[in-house]
Structure 1
Amino acid sequence: MADQSCKVLVIGAGPGGYVCAIRASQLGLDTIIVEKEAVGGTCLNIGCIPSKALIHAAGEFHALREAAGGRSKLGISAGPAAIDLKRTVAWKDGVVRQLTGGVAGLLRKAGVRQIEGTARILDGKTVSVETADGNLRIVCEHLVIATGSRPVEVPLLPFGGNILSSTEALSLSQVPETLAVVGGGYIGLEIGTAYAKLGARVSIVEAKSQLLPQYDEELTRPVLARLKALGVDVHLNAVAEGYDQAGRMLAVKAGGVSSGIAADKVLVTVGRRPVLEEVGVEALGLDRNGPFIRCNDRGQTSMRQVYAIGDVTGEPMLAHRAMAQGEIVAEGIAGQASRWEKRVIPAVCFTDPEIVVAGLLPGEAHAVGKDVGIASYPLRANGRSLTLERSDGFVRIVFDKRSGLVLGIQAVGAACAEMAGEFALALEMCATLTDVAATIHAHPTLGETVQEAALMGLGKALHA
């Protein structure tokens, strides 16, 4: 294959990479993107999209089982529920194919040259790509590293056989009778909850004293209660010590006492690490923040005209953060004055109930010296929540008492994920409690809870 050259070369076609490539091409920059697998990256192919598909299917199946057992409060009854997980996975894969095809089409529409192959960085201007047709060398003016991350492997629990990463857990052909989840973060809880609804006996093993340890206990309490209602066994302050493949037993130690947990499958979700050495990033000698690439507010690394976006730059490892970084890098290369000036990156845990976090948590606001006010509004007082048959949870606004400036908004409850945009917009626009309280919210909607929480913070509660 003949060598190629371009203005911008993006390695990795995940959310950050493909957005960067599209924007760069839209701005008139000759752009090539290299991806060794399907476009869309982890999020679209083996992460957020397929996991949400599984979560939805599990929720539908669980509702049918409740109806079949005469436990539906809505008066709905049904015959025995059954699930063909192969068909479920096939449907999930169809959703993924539709979206990856859409991304590939967007890249073509923007005029981005797409190359399928494994990239290896030779220097800051040159990349070798191993393709099905042979090796290709690409010379570029600007190099963008968007190679993403992969699951962390625990030495005592190496992936393989019955020990799964999230990738394998999203593609099982049948529901395991017993499933142990090592790690109580959002990935483990999302997938573990889904399998509990599908009929597996699920156990969660978390080394710290609470699930989702990055959040406060008030936010996670409804999730823990729901897990217990679903029959999930939660082991806190517990460490997995190994797995007996023959006996299908996970060894766990808690409080100095060792025990075993029955586990036909073990899902390990203890974190993710950046994909860097595999593509030769070490050859560039870039400055690092621990395992991650250090970059400035324009996505520039310590090497001139080399940029990094997405998971390789560290936490939070979120697709929408990577997309925002991709736009900024492309616009900067095109000579625009774009830089990272975001006030907030919302985060959603698609647990049951869902958790949405934007801005500062109460403890974080106190830690930076704010005169903190907190206003919470319970979902049980919201008409829309009651009609959804799930009213556990609340919406909470963290604000500065002196100015009324909104510092953070959090929620835990069914369908709360759809309010993430409103939370982020309020913070980006520097809204005060008065701004939120004076905004008319449609009735009956979950969004009314945000207005009601603001009214509570002002001492003007109407429905509490």
Structure 2
Amino acid sequence: MKEIACKLLVIGSGPGGYVCAIRAGQLGLDTVIVEAKKPGGTCLNVGCIPSKAMIHAAEEFARVKAMAAGDSPLGIALQGPAIDLAKTIAWKDRIVGRLTTGVSGLLKKAGVKTVQGWARFRDGKTVEVKTETGMQIIRAETIVIATGSESVDLPGLAFGGAVISSTEALALTTVPERLVVVGAGYIGLELGTAFAKLGARVTVVEATDRILPLYDAELTRPVARRLEDLGVTVMLSAKAKGLSTRDNGLTVETRDGQSEKIAADKVLVTVGRRALTDGWGLEELDLDMDGRALRIDETCRTSMRGVYAIGDVTGEPMLAHRAMAQGEMVAEIVAGHRRAFDKRVIPAVCFTDPEIVTAGLSPDEARQNGREIKIGLFPFQANGRAMTMEAESGFVRVVARADNHLVLGIQAVGQGVSELSAAFGLAIEMGARLEDIAGTIHAHPTQGEGLQEAALKALGAALHI
């Protein structure tokens, strides 16, 4: 039985884990990272990256299909569009492969030793890893748990056969004729919209009374309108009860208590993700929990000395960029630097059509804190760049304190607004006031001008509306 001793052991090479290991290696720490599958974790392999590739392919196909139907206002006409989904998946897989290879190269460049296999704790300092060549024992002064999360299934809809998670949805080589998406959160609507554009008849079943329930209604209305335009059927206040193996009919309980059966070739269950705390020896440790997630402090320390946790395994918000920030911070702490995780703002993006970006507080959240606020909203219908891109649906909204105009939150919904997330986060992180944003010269013509115009609107000095 082989043994390795190291300064830092990272379990899991998702965005949080690999960033932690790379930074630790750069800082001269003797670092080992353990991964059972491929580097990059859920995000890179079966989540963020492949889903965005599929969304892009679906958008391109929908655009070509509209041209073939003579619906392009640009005067472009084509004939006979078709999609070879297997070829699309192969293209997506090549992107993932390039990125996983890149992560492996960066780990090697930083001097990090990678151990391939499934890790399991023996105690707070020792891990055993089942590898292809036998059992590997690793002893570490400090351990970082970065095991990530897993898809949640439903009673009566266990994954398998026609019931799939986002992982299987991103590997389909043919477009299902009838797709039912259970859950109208961001994962369900991102993938449901993509498959609708690829030609599937999509039905979305949501237990609450509106789509994207974690976002405020003003932001989700343009998304709801687009779903209607795409022919997606949305059933609200409806609960999926089970799938008939005889005819692949999904039984749904509607808001009035009646049962309805929906024909489905595939049922995509996207009701959320949960911290992955099973299978790696949690029971051998004495860690405080927050529900299913590991409880951490502002420096990502757990309740055990020398054991940190980062990313999805620590609960919401389950965002890759949060995990990356935590991983970098923990590596620097272990190297002796003074650091803390300042989560003043963590932007979140929903890659629906149109996209949604949120950073900081929404109007309702700001009011709940007892503050008087100013709100500035600028619609893309009044933005020249949005007009030239046929992207007039949506707006930019700024929320600020009424007394000193400190910006508390910025939100947007519209085509391509995900690229504005950096500006939104930076403004709040730097303590910008409405006057700072309004006084910053924004390039014309860009959608980013909507941020400046929203700030001007909040100040009562709007120029273009």
Of 328-337 and 415-424, deviating more is 328-337
Q: CA deviation at 1:80?
A: 1.3
Is structure 2 residue 91 aligned with structure 1 residue 91? Answer: yes
Structure 1 residue identity aligned to 2:116: E
CA distance in 1, matches of 2:70, 2:197: 16
CA distance in 1, matches of 2:283, 2:439: 53
Q: CA deviation at 1:257?
A: 1.2
CA distance in 1, matches of 2:245, 2:66: 33
Is the Cα–Cα contact under 8 Å of residues 286 and 302 in structure 1 kept in the other structure? Answer: yes
| Aligned equivalent of 1:70 | 70
| Structure 1 segment 268-287 matched on structure 2, within 5 A | 268-287=269-288
Could you give the per-residue CA deviations for residues 275-316 of structure 1, whole angstroms, max 9, x where no partner exists? Answer: 112111221120011111011111100000000000011100
| Structure 1 segment 41-190 matched on structure 2, within 5 A | 41-190=41-190
| Structure 1 segment 377-416 matched on structure 2, within 5 A | 377-416=378-417
Q: CA deviation at 1:244?
A: 1.3
| Aligned equivalent of 1:355 | 356
Percent identical: 60
| Aligned equivalent of 1:27 | 27
Is the Cα–Cα contact under 8 Å of residues 68 and 80 in structure 1 kept in the other structure? Answer: yes
Gaps of 5+ in 1: none
| Aligned equivalent of 1:233 | 233
Structure 2 residue identity aligned to 1:195: F
Q: CA deviation at 1:222?
A: 0.4
| Aligned equivalent of 2:428 | 427
Q: Secondary structure at the match of 1:58?
A: helix
Could you give the per-residue CA deviations for residues 5-64 of structure 1, whole angstroms, max 9, x where no partner exists? Answer: 100000000000000001111111100000000000000000000000000000000001
CA distance in 2, matches of 1:334, 1:155: 46
Could you give the per-residue CA deviations for residues 355-410 of structure 1, whole angstroms, max 9, x where no partner exists? Answer: 00000011100111111111100000000100111210000001101100000000
Structure 1 residue identity aligned to 2:209: S
CA distance in 2, matches of 1:390, 1:76: 17
Structure 2 residue identity aligned to 1:77: A
| Aligned equivalent of 2:293 | 292
TM-score normalised by the chain length of structure 2? 0.99
Question: What is the root-mean-square deviation in Å for CA atoms of aligned residues?
Answer: 0.7
CA distance in 1, matches of 2:31, 2:443: 44
Q: CA deviation at 1:245?
A: 2.7
Q: Secondary structure at the match of 2:447?
A: coil
Q: Secondary structure at the match of 1:424?
A: helix
Structure 2 residue identity aligned to 1:290: G
CA distance in 1, matches of 2:216, 2:297: 30
CA distance in 1, matches of 2:158, 2:231: 27
Q: Secondary structure at the match of 2:296?
A: coil
Q: Secondary structure at the match of 1:278?
A: coil
Q: Secondary structure at the match of 1:298?
A: coil
Q: Secondary structure at the match of 1:3?
A: strand
Is structure 2 residue 45 aligned with structure 1 residue 11? Answer: no
Q: Secondary structure at the match of 2:20?
A: helix
| Aligned equivalent of 1:209 | 209
Q: Secondary structure at the match of 2:246?
A: coil
| Aligned equivalent of 1:445 | 446
| Aligned equivalent of 2:253 | 253
Of 244-253 and 400-409, deviating more is 244-253
CA distance in 1, matches of 2:334, 2:414: 42
Structure 2 residue identity aligned to 1:426: A
CA distance in 2, matches of 1:426, 1:68: 43
Q: Secondary structure at the match of 1:101?
A: helix
Of 10-19 and 240-249, deviating more is 240-249
| Structure 1 segment 318-357 matched on structure 2, within 5 A | 318-357=319-358
Structure 2 residue identity aligned to 1:138: I
CA distance in 2, matches of 1:409, 1:245: 47
CA distance in 2, matches of 1:206, 1:342: 30
Gaps of 5+ in 2: none
Which aligned segments of 4 or more residues in structure 1 are displaced greater than 3 angstroms?
Answer: none
Is the Cα–Cα contact under 8 Å of residues 178 and 264 in structure 1 kept in the other structure? Answer: yes
Q: CA deviation at 1:246?
A: 2.6
Q: CA deviation at 1:436?
A: 0.1
Could you give the per-residue CA deviations for residues 215-262 of structure 1, whole angstroms, max 9, x where no partner exists? Answer: 111100000000000000000000001111331211101121110112
Q: Secondary structure at the match of 1:277?
A: coil
CA distance in 2, matches of 1:100, 1:342: 28
Is the Cα–Cα contact under 8 Å of residues 342 and 428 in structure 1 kept in the other structure? Answer: no
CA distance in 1, matches of 2:208, 2:146: 31
Is the Cα–Cα contact under 8 Å of residues 183 and 268 in structure 1 kept in the other structure? Answer: yes
Q: Secondary structure at the match of 1:33?
A: strand
Q: CA deviation at 1:413?
A: 0.4
